[in-house]
Amino acid sequence: MDIELTKVSSKGQVVIPQNIRDELKLKEGETLAVSAKENLVVLRKVDAHMSHDDLKTLASIKEAWKEIAAGKSTRMRADNFLKEIETW
């Protein structure tokens, strides 16, 4: 999994680095679902061919935010977190 740094422009725009756009085959004008809570922003590519599993993923992100807000989350070291999300 690639991790890149980017900045927010004065217009609120964020550039997704080229290697990540290439990996996801993102093209100009494509739609992304955006979810945010505190310091975490999640982007999810949305297209007309979304599967039932894709929609379940978006719903699970919403549920995860609720669990975090309710104090039901656990903390882990960054390296362990990165290893875990590689399995997603």
> Each residue's pLDDT tens digit in the chain (88 positions)?
567 888 999 999 999 999 989 988 899 988 888 877 778 888 888 776 766 777 777 777 777 778 877 888 777 787 887 787 777 6
pLDDT on residue 82 = 78
Cα–Cα distance for residue pair 73/67, rounded to 1 Å? 6
The tally of CA atoms less than 13 A away on the side-chain side of residue 87 is 4
pLDDT on residue 50 = 67
Q: Strands, E, within the chain: which ranges?
A: 31-37, 40-46
pLDDT on residue 12 = 93
Cα–Cα distance for residue pair 83/88, rounded to 1 Å? 10
pTM here is 0.50
pLDDT on residue 3 = 76
What tokens does 88 get? 């997603």
